[in-house]
Structure 1
Amino acid sequence: MRKKVSLVLVIALLLTLIAAGCTQQSTEETEKTEGMKLSGEVKIAGSSTVYPITIAIGEEFSRLHPDVVVSVQSTGTGGGFKNFFIPGHADINDASRPIKQEELDAAKENGVEPIEFLVGYDALSVIVNPENDWVGCLSFEDLKKIWGPDATGNVTKWSDVNPDWPDENMNLYGPTSASGTFDFFTEHVVGESGAHRQDYHGTEEDNTIIMAVARDKYAMGYLGLAYYLENKDRVKAVEIKNPETGACVAPSIESGQSGEYPLARPLFIYVNKEALKKPAVREFVKFYLENLDSGIVEEIGYIPVSEKIKEENLKKFNDALKELGVE
């Protein structure tokens, strides 16, 4: 009788342990899936153009993982690389241009291995005040005449560009040299990287450009598409002449996707490979890449990547995890 009771107790104990193990495994799987215990901080700096995308994705991520702090600073692409990403103060750098070779070299010298992910496309927009009724379309030659280094002190009035335009001072607003937007504009419009007039109002705050142009009939500025689309009732976008077709094309998601708009450009995030060892960073980057076609990018006012690019991003991400041994 005692042997039978002992056997029953042993079986009951084993069943209890098995049940407990299953419950623990189930709990762990649930926590792993839902991120109940995911915590930490994801530090991001860089491009003011990519900033709205990262902020929007960060907000969605925070709803799933409220204990993770996602901090995003708008510093300009170059400023982010130089002051935050390369020194190791940021896990991710938003970028509205590809990383430069000297930045890549400096990062590697500092033990930072950047992984590049293409996250969308922008249609860089030239804006004027809604009361500006004399400028409808500008060619690259016009833009170079206005913004090129030779314009400093020489092209100060609208009439200096075209005698039919007002004999009024032209007040110009744009990004600083720390910005990827500045780099793209000078390289593709002026024709020389970094070549830009000096006598303009430079800022890393795109909303400052919007406000300045919105209140000044004789102002002009340039910035990312999302900021223009968000303020279409306050500023007017100038059409840009396509050098190949001669057609004047307005900036939009559609014209950027089709390739008709000549100032379309790629947008990136650069991730410090070593930072992927941190669960919060790893899960955030994965969430970011998985949601590039969820409507967030387009809703912000940018052009989403293709399914092919999304899959290439995720493969690159998973390959990095394999190399780190943190799959």
Structure 2
Amino acid sequence: MLKKKGFKGILMLSMVAMLAFAAACGNNTGGNAETENTGTTNNATNAPTEAAKLSGEIKVDGSSTVFPLTEAAAEEFNKEHADVRVPVGVSGTGGGFKQFCAGEIAIADASRPIKDEEATACKDAGIEYTELTVAFDGLSVVVSKDNDFIDHLTVEELNKIFVTGSTVATWKDVRDTFPAEPIVMFSPGADSGTYDYFNEAILDKAGIRNDKAISFSEDDNALVQGVSGSKYGIGYFGFAYFEENQDKLKVVPVDGGAGAITPTTETIKDGSYAPLSRPLFIYVNNKELERPEVKEFVKYYINNIGPLAGEVGYVALPDEQYATEAAKIQ
């Protein structure tokens, strides 16, 4: 009896041990699968979590013309990366490059290419950069909605009005059929890329007059108010600002030698609005581009600015050109 009981006890202990071993194996298998599943789940979860962890500040300054583009890109980017701040200033293209070459900002908005002296300043400061073309613009000559006598102006007439040393005082001095009323001029300031482009394209770099007949401002909205408030006023700025204020402004078709052309999305894109169609740029400090938030913002900018350009009054580049610009970031 004792032997039978001992055998049964041993048998029961063996069965318990086998069951425990099987359970342990089952748990290990389940545990590995669970670990793998958990790992997979964590990896899937980590992708947006890592993206959400982007934070910091990306300082941008420069062209008031490029400002609407960069502001739009920053606002959309911020919806996905709420912890990244992208303040955008409007000190003008020249003002932006001064800060950029001093290492004070990560990105410079520019409505013209960087000048040789600005590039030298950056080089002397040890700042390497990448130039990215983001959209096209048509620099627009505008007058008040109340102006009922201008149907177009030639490049020569614009030169006569704005060039330094000009003695033109009334509209009749520009064209005999115009009224003998004083011309009131409005222009971006000398730090503006728009000023530089107009000076080059219309005035052959002779310079813009600086007398009591003309007012300067880096704020395009101030120029809009000045021109719209004077029947005999005239000014110029980016196409987006005209589109935004076309209820109170009239755009002037410009004859560059092939007939009077009105700036539109089509004429700007195909270059027929000459000589006032121009590319717009951002310049990125390469050292800053090593920061993940800066790199992600710039990638987002180039990959999304095409549709945004149309929304804020500019003309998108061809898709293949955006692909070329995106490749520069890599």
TM-score higher than 0.5 here? yes
Aligned to 2:72: 56
Contact 2:73 2:305 in 1 (8 A): no
How many residues are treated as equivalent by the alignment? 309
Aligned: 1:241 with 2:259: no
How far, CA to CA, are the matches of 1:307 and 1:22 in structure 2? 36
Of the three residues 144, 154, 159, the one matched with 1:139 is: 154
> What aligned pairs does 1:289-304 form with structure 2 within 5 A after superposition?
289-293=302-306, 295-304=307-316
TM-score by length of 1: 0.90
Aligned: 1:85 with 2:97: no
Of the three residues 43, 61, 85, the one matched with 1:25 is: 43
Aligned to 1:101: 116
> What aligned pairs does 1:1-327 form with structure 2 within 5 A after superposition?
1=17, 3-32=21-50, 35-82=51-98, 84-151=99-166, 154-192=167-205, 195-199=207-211, 200-243=214-257, 245=258, 247-262=259-274, 263-293=276-306, 295-318=307-330
Write out per-residue CA displacement over residues 199-246 of structure 1, whole angstroms, 9 at most, x where no aligned residue.
Answer: 221111101111111111111100000000111110111110032x2x
How far, CA to CA, are the matches of 1:89 and 1:205 in structure 2? 22
Q: Which has the larger radius of gyration?
A: 2
Alignment root-mean-square deviation, CA = 1.6
Write out per-residue CA displacement over residues 244-278 of structure 1, whole angstroms, 9 at most, x where no aligned residue.
Answer: x2x11111111112221111011111111111111
How far, CA to CA, are the matches of 1:149 and 1:242 in structure 2? 20
Q: Give SS of 2:53's match.
A: coil
Write out per-residue CA displacement over residues 35-60 of structure 1, whole angstroms, 9 at most, x where no aligned residue.
Answer: 22221112110110011111111111
Contact 2:69 2:305 in 1 (8 A): no
Query: Alpha-carbon deviation of 1:191?
Result: 0.4
TM-score by length of 2: 0.89
The percentage of aligned residue pairs carrying the same residue is: 39
Which of 178-187 and 21-30 deviates more?
Answer: 21-30
Query: Alpha-carbon deviation of 1:13?
Result: 4.2
Query: Alpha-carbon deviation of 1:167?
Result: 2.1
Contact 1:104 1:114 in 2 (8 A): no
Structure 1 pair 6–131 and aligned structure 2 pair: CA distance change class (3 A): closer
Write out per-residue CA displacement over residues 116-146 of structure 1, whole angstroms, 9 at most, x where no aligned residue.
Answer: 1111111101111112122211111111111
